Amino acid sequence: MKKSHAESLYSFRRALLQVHKPGRLRQAALEDFRGTRVADAWCIACPKDAGVVLRHAAEDLREYFAVSMGVDIPVVTDPAPYAQAIRLAVDAALPPRTFRIHIREGIAVAGADERAAAQGCYALEDEMNLNEVPGLAPGEIVRTARFSPRMIHSGLGPGMYPDEHLRAIAHAGMDAIIVDTSAALASPDACHAVNDVIRRAASFGIDVYTFSFFKNERHPSDPDAWAHYDAMHGRLFERCPDLKGIIFVGESCEFPSHDPRTTGRDYHSSKDDVKPSPGWFPCDDYPEFISLLRDVIHSHSPGAEIVFWSYNWGFLDAGPRLKLIEKLPTDVVLMATFEMFEEFDVAPGVAETCTDYTLWSIGPGPYFASESEAARKRGMKMYGMTNTGGNTWDIGVVPYLPAPQAWLKRFRAVVEAQEDWRLDGLMESHTYGYWPSMIPELAKQAFFEPMPDMDALLLRIVARDFGVRNAENVLRALRCFSEGVSHCVSTNQEQYGPCRIGPAYPLFFERTEPIPIGPQSIRDPNGTCVPVYRYSHDQAAKLLWETEEYAKMTTCFQEGCDMLEPVVKTLEADRRANAEELLGVARFIENTARTTVHVKRWHALKWKLGISPDPYPVWVGGR
């Protein structure tokens, strides 16, 4: 296949800002269509008293028909002069987070509130995209969102949320974003920028959360603790009163705990101590600390959510973790990472522990399961960090993992966790955002109730994007990719090393060099990437097993790419561009897996020569 030109810097942002794909209409599908078809004589009827969310949804629907289907219909408040209408409404009798689409001669979209009605409009578009015509079969569609919030970071860059990206996020079924507020108290302009994002996001039915970033220097029992935390957390919610909530995670909300099992000091000043710092242990005074922060914040914003993420001590036995949960106030939201910390005996004498944010293990892990069950018993809301936006830390330089069959297993496991224990909301990425592909399209449908036949839906999506005659071959290729990620062993050495840097990962012999820092770098890349591969010699059997697994992964992705490549060559222009992108991502993953094999073999060969890099371990978040 002819090699494509390298992308210009930041050109990826164009895809993240495209709300509606042009040219969805297929003439052959239109000729065979039998159903209710929207035409130029129609209109979109929006109530006169509609709020901003429903008005935006109506205008979005108008734009969709113009851009994707070539149909020009206006938004009106009086549909009488028009042949037919898509009528938008709020029906408070519907259950929360529910929309209903009624299709006869005309179409009626109603939601329990304006946000649900907007999701009904987007669902209308989704179904027409699958049909590839501006029409639907007569009948009724009623669906309820299982999870809220569905949080996502910006895919454009930290804190970047132009309206087009917010609209695309809402179309993906996500209803919350995460914004950095670390400068909001230091700069009036920064505070205004945060409030502007909150205002604009709300107009598209999206809430805004933030992470705690303050340095906590008081124990909750200190006499000036309230004043200390009110000057930080309280002031933030005073200045940004419409923040939906704040997320506290151990490593970034350490405090001077009195728990004798910890140092009582922060991580950096505790490195040489045998005890953990409070950010990496479920201290017995965390309930007192979180309760104080809750009270301070609620004195300014009574409805703000306080989310407590137990990520940093999920590797501990259940005893101390569950003891902490038993003492937390029940109006705090608990959050746990879905797949982490499960231990596997993979070969004689070789064990692996599932690390951060991976699809290698579908989950849920025992850490999540135990905490979700504990939340259910206590009547606490429960959120999960699930990575269901379509990306993980497995291959850190690709926009998504094109492994839909593996993702379907994750989506079903997430839904089952809600049914078996408790799971109210999701965080769907950590830092990466999401990429518009079949993965979030599938996730959106999986997280509505009732869940459709997901295998049949995947077939429809593949047939739409690659053509009916190519669908089975493409599905076989995608199965290879899905099998491949099951061999992408999640280790810190890989996630911070060759799998984050990619095929350019260096093979150092003795001399090493850091990653160059560019003139426009926001931070030192050597803090998030490790260009010097380190692996303890006493874990040689583990390294060998992982090498074999990454070799299997390489084979799976190579076989899938070899199946997909001839299909891509046959596609017409409008389908071919997206197909080439998917193939390019898969080839990159193939070559990253191959590079990882070479890095590991190179490391093992250097051992035979007595050459090892410095003994410092790969940073693993304090664990």
Read off the pLDDT of residues 139-179 as tens digits, 9 standing for 90 and up. Answer: 999 999 999 999 999 999 888 999 999 999 999 999 999 99
Task: Express the helix, strand and coil content of the chain in percent, nearest 5 each.
Answer: 45, 15, 45
pLDDT of residue 409: 98
Q: Verify cis geometry, omega within 30 degrees of 0, for the bond prior to 223.
A: no
Other C-beta atoms lying within 10 Å of the C-beta of residue 133? 22
Q: What tokens were used for 206?
A: 């999206």
Segment-wise mean pLDDT, segments of 10 residues, the chain, 623 residues:
66 94 93 95 98 98 98 97 97 98 97 98 98 97 98 93 98 98 95 98 98 95 98 98 97 95 94 94 97 98 98 95 97 97 94 94 97 98 97 94 98 98 96 93 98 98 97 98 98 94 93 85 84 89 97 98 97 91 97 98 93 60 39
- The answer to whether the CB of 161 falls within 8 A of the CB of 107 is no
Angle among Cα 99, 104, 109 to the nearest 5 degrees reads 20
Cis peptide before 329 (omega within 30 of 0): no
Tell me whether residue 223 is exposed, middle or buried, using C-beta atoms within 10 angstroms of its C-beta: 0 to 12, 13 to 18, 19 or more. exposed
The backbone region for 159, taken as left when phi is positive above 0, alpha when psi lies in -120 to 50, beta otherwise, is left
Residues 6+ apart with CB under 8 A from 284: 259, 323, 324, 327
Which tokens hold the place of 119? 């999701």
Q: What is the pLDDT of residue 620?
A: 45
Q: Is 192 helix (H, G, I), strand (E, B) or coil?
A: helix
Q: Phi/psi at 209 (nearest 5 deg)?
A: -115, 165
Per-residue pLDDT, 1: 45
Give the whole-angstrom CA distance, residue 77 versus residue 153. Answer: 36
The model carries a pTM of 0.96
**What local confidence, expressed as pLDDT, does residue 229 receive?**
98
The pLDDT value recorded for residue 618 is 54
Q: Is-contact 73 117, C-beta < 8 A?
A: no
Which of 233, 159, 243 lies closest to 202, judged by CA?
243
Contacts of 551 (CB under 8 A, 6+ apart): 597
What's the burial of 440, exposed, middle or buried (CB within 10 Å: 0-12/13-18/19+)? buried
Complete domains list, the chain, with CATH: 17-143 (3.30.379.10), 150-452 (3.20.20.80), 481-517+525-608 (no CATH)
What token pair was written down for 202?
């709300």
Q: Which residues are within 8 A (CB) of 201 and not within 5 positions of it... i.e. 6 or more apart?
A: 161, 166, 177, 207, 208
Token readout for 130 is: 């699958």
DSSP secondary structure letter of residue 36:
E
Q: Looking at 253-402, list the stretches that DSSP marks H as alpha helix, in order from N- to C-terminal side.
A: 286-298, 318-327, 366-378
Name which of 122, 135, 147 is nearest 59 in CA terms.
122
According to the model, what pLDDT value does residue 622 have? 38
Contact 370/422 with Cβ under 8 angstroms? no
Question: Residue 162: left (phi > 0), alpha (psi -120 to 50), or beta?
Answer: beta
Determine the 3-state secondary structure of 133 from DSSP.
coil
Nearest to 482 by CA among 519, 522, 445, 455: 455
Q: What are phi and psi of 11, to 5 degrees?
A: -65, -20
Q: Which of 14, 131, 36 is nearest to 87 (CA)?
A: 36
Distance CA 283, CA 323 (A): 10
DSSP state of 155: S
- What pLDDT does residue 112 have? 98
Q: Are strands 84-90 and 42-45 parallel, antiparallel or unpaired?
A: parallel
